[in-house]
Amino acid sequence: MANFLKLNKSYLGPEVLSNGSFEEYGPEIVQNPNFESSTGFTLGTGWSIDNNIAIHEGSVGNLGLNATYTDGKTYLIKFTIDSIDSGVCNVYDSGTAYTYQSFNSAGTYTVSIEKVGTSALALRSDSPNCKISSVSLKESGAVELVDNGRFAGIANGTDVTFVSSQWTFSSLTSSDIESNILECIASGPNEFAYLQVPTVVGTEYRFKVDSVTGDLASDSVRVQGEAVDVTSGSGELVFTATSSTTIIQFYAGDGYSVAQTNYTNISMQATNQFAYGYERFGVDNLGGQNSVFDLQAKTVRFVAATESPNLIEVSGNTTTTSQEYLLKIDVESIVGISDFLWYNGYSYDRIKLKVGENEFRYTRQSTNNAILFGIDVNSSADIGSSFTFNSISLQEVVNQPKLIGVDNVSMVSAPTDNTVVINNGLTDGADELTITYAGASASSRVQMRNFFQDSIVRLANSNNTAEVLEITPPVLITDIVAS
- One-letter amino acid at 166 equals Q
**The CA-based dihedral angle spanning residues 444, 447, 450, 454, taken in that order and rounded to the nearest 10 degrees:** -160
- The arrangement of secondary structure in 278-398, i.e. its CATH architecture, is Sandwich (2.60)
pTM: 0.78
- How far apart CA 73 and CA 200 sit, in angstroms, is 20
- One-letter amino acid at 474 equals P
Three-state secondary structure string covering the chain: CCCEEEEEEEEEEEECCCCCCCCCECCCCCCCCCCCCCCCEEECCCEEEECCEEEECCCCEEEEECCCCCCCEEEEEEEEEEEECCCCEEEEECCCCEEEEEECCCEEEEEEEECCCCCCEEEEECCCCEEEEEEEEEEEEEECCCCCCCCCCCCCCEEHHHCCCCEEEECCCEEEEECCEEEEEECCCCCEEEEEEECCCCCEEEEEEEEEEECCCCCCEEECCEEECCCCCCEEEEEECCCCEEEEEEECCCCCCCEEEEEEEEEEEECCCCCCCEEECCHHHCCCCCEEEECCCCEEEEECCCCCCEEEEECCCCCCCCCEEEEEEEEEEEECCCCEEEECCCCEEEECCCCEEEEEEEECCCCCCCEEEEECCCCHHHCCCEEEEEEEEEEEEEEEEEEEECCCCCEEEEEECCEEEEECCCCCCCCEEEEEECHHHCCCHHHHHHHHHHHHHHHHCCCCCCCEEEECCCCCEEEEEEC
pLDDT number for residue 430: 58
- One-letter amino acid at 369 equals N
Torsion-angle region of 244 (φ positive above 0: left; ψ -120 to 50: alpha; else: beta): alpha
- How far apart CA 120 and CA 122 sit, in angstroms, is 6
Contact 52, 34 (CB under 8 A): yes
Phi, psi of 283 (to 5 degrees): -60, 125
pLDDT number for residue 40: 95
- How far apart CA 110 and CA 229 sit, in angstroms, is 28
Contact 319, 364 (CB under 8 A): yes
For the chain, domain boundaries: 41-142, 158-270, 278-398, 406-482
Return the closest-CA partner of residue 435 out of 404, 398, 397.
Answer: 404
CATH class of the region 41-142: mainly beta
- One-letter amino acid at 270 equals A
Contact 247, 254 (CB under 8 A): no
The two domains 41-142 and 158-270 share their CATH topology (first three levels equal): yes
Other C-beta atoms within 10 Å of 50: how many?
Answer: 9
Strand order in the sheet with 371-375: 278-280, 310-314, 371-375, 340-343, 348-351
Which residues in the chain land under pLDDT 70? 1-3, 282-287, 425-430, 463-466
How open is the CA angle 68-145-313, to the nearest 5 degrees? Answer: 70
CA 371 to chain centre: 12
Return the closest-CA partner of residue 353 out of 371, 365, 335.
Answer: 335
CATH class of the region 158-270: mainly beta
CA 414 to chain centre: 42
C-alpha distances out from residue 32 to 41, 49, 119, 348, Å? 8, 11, 19, 43
Return the closest-CA partner of residue 302 out of 288, 313, 291.
Answer: 291
Sign of CA dihedral 210, 216, 217, 223: negative
Return the closest-CA partner of residue 228 out of 200, 259, 261, 202.
Answer: 261
